[in-house]
Each structure stands twice: as C-alpha cells, then as structure tokens.
Amino acid sequence: MSAIRLLVLGAVRMHGRAHGYQVRNDLEYWGAHEWSNAKPGSIYHALKQMAKQGLLLAHETAPSTAGGPPRTEYEVTEAGLDEYRALLRDAIRSYDRNMDVLSAAVGFIVDLPREEAVALLKERIEGIREWRDAVTEYYTPEEGPESLGHIGEIMNLWVHSADSGAEWTRGLIARIEGGAYTFAGEGDPFVGVLAEGEENPYATGVPDPGDND
C-alpha cells in the first residue's frame, strides 16, 4: 500500500474542506513529494477514487477565487475518518520496508492519544524483531552463510536497515514518553497546513535535495 491515501485523507481532514490544489500544496509544504509518490496525478486520482468509495464527499464548487479553472472541494466522511484512523494505526504498527507510509504516519501521529502512539510504536519494534528473526533464519542455509556468496549481502542490507529502523523507533518512543510534542486531547494541536493564500516557505529558492530516484 502506498502512502497517498493516508496523506490525502490527512490533509483534507486538517482543512475540514479542501480542494485538490490545496492538498497538493500541503504535501509540497511537508516535503512529501521528496519521499512519496505525491504527484498531481496521484493526488487527484486518490481524491476521485476515495470520493467514489464514499470516503470523501465532493462538492462541485464555483469557479476559483484566484484565477484558474473551477475546483472541487472535498470533505472527509464518517467512513473516511474510520479509514484514515485505520491506515494511520496500521502504518505506525507494521514494519514496511518502504519508508513513505511510515513518514506519512509520523506526520499525523499526534492525532492519536500519546499512550496509543507509544503502544503502536512498541508493536512496531516487536514486528521488526520478528521479521528480522524470520529473515535471518530463512537466509541461513545449512552449509553456512558463505554458500550464499554475495547474495548474502542482500540479507545483510535488510537486517542492517531493520536494525536501524528499530533504533529510530526506540528513540522516538523515548522522546514521546519524555513529553515531547502535543498529542490528541492535550491542548492546541500543531497546525501543519497552509491557509488559503498563505505562501509556502519551502516552495522554491531552496536547494533541491537531489532527486536521484
């Protein structure tokens, strides 16, 4: 599963009501185009698809107030909210070798109660441990790891990266348990969206982090 649905649902929800271009701008503001497949086509596709599936409610709105073609505004439905929370919990809990889903989830993690966030992150660590054990066993033939030749380096890479992921997760748990950030029900939430008309401070004029996909 890609991160696009979680990102789009989360962005629309933070606005209450948003059109595609606004979502697109938020995601750029968050740098999501750097670490996920948040491109215009994907965003508009996800909006339409989720509207068709009843996760979003589409309002055909009047022509833009700021030039350009008319735009459609979306709102998250009850079902959409359920889906959002399910995706969010799942993204935090389960170890996926692609970091985009996790990155998106970290962006929304404060939407959960602090205790739940910590619990999910601990589940994550446990999942990494299980995955690591299974992989090392799977890739350790009877004749010893040498019989794999350089292929063993692939396993080495995964295990290295799993360990690194676990370490980062432990660090995050420590910071959250230490009182960092403002979680659900703890007062004014951190606002990470661009208001109508507000300009994106990261949009341009900044050295490009070298997109070498």
- Which residues are at the interface with DNA (CB under 7 A)? 2, 4, 19-22, 37, 39-42, 44-46, 48-49, 63-72
State in angstroms the smallest separation of the CB of 88 from its own copies: 13
64 vs 164 by CB, closer to DNA: 64
103 binds, among DNA, its own copies, none (CB under 5 to 8 A by kind): its own copies
User: Cα-flanking dihedrals φ and ψ of residue 191, to 5°?
Assistant: -100, 120
44 binds, among DNA, its own copies, none (CB under 5 to 8 A by kind): DNA
State in angstroms the smallest separation of the CB of 74 from its own copies: 23
70 vs 141 by CB, closer to its own copies: 141
190 makes contact with its own copies (CB under 8 A): yes
The span of 18-26, 41-49, 61-69, 130-138 binding its own copies (CB under 8 A) equals 130-138
Name residues contacting its own copies, limited to 97-126 (CB under 8 A): 97-100, 102-103, 106-107, 109-110
Single residue of 9, 43, 172, 173 touching its own copies by CB under 8 A: 172
d(CA 138, CA 157): 15
3-state secondary structure labels for all residues of the chain:
CCCHHHHHHHHHHHHCCEEHHHHHHHHHHCCHHHHCCCCHHHHHHHHHHHHHCCCEEEEECCCCCCCCCCCEEEEECHHHHHHHHHHHHHHHHCCCCCHHHHHHHHHHHHHCCHHHHHHHHHHHHHHHHHHHHHHHHHCCCCCCHHHHHHHHHHHHHHHHHHHHHHHHHHHHHHHHHCCCCCCCCCCCCCCCCCCCCCCCCCCCCCCCCCCCC
| N residues, the chain | 213
Number of residues that bind its own copies (CB under 8 A): 60
145 makes contact with its own copies (CB under 8 A): no
94 binds, among DNA, its own copies, none (CB under 5 to 8 A by kind): its own copies
153 makes contact with its own copies (CB under 8 A): yes
d(CA 15, CA 11): 7
The span of 30-38, 53-61, 66-74, 79-87 binding its own copies (CB under 8 A) equals 30-38
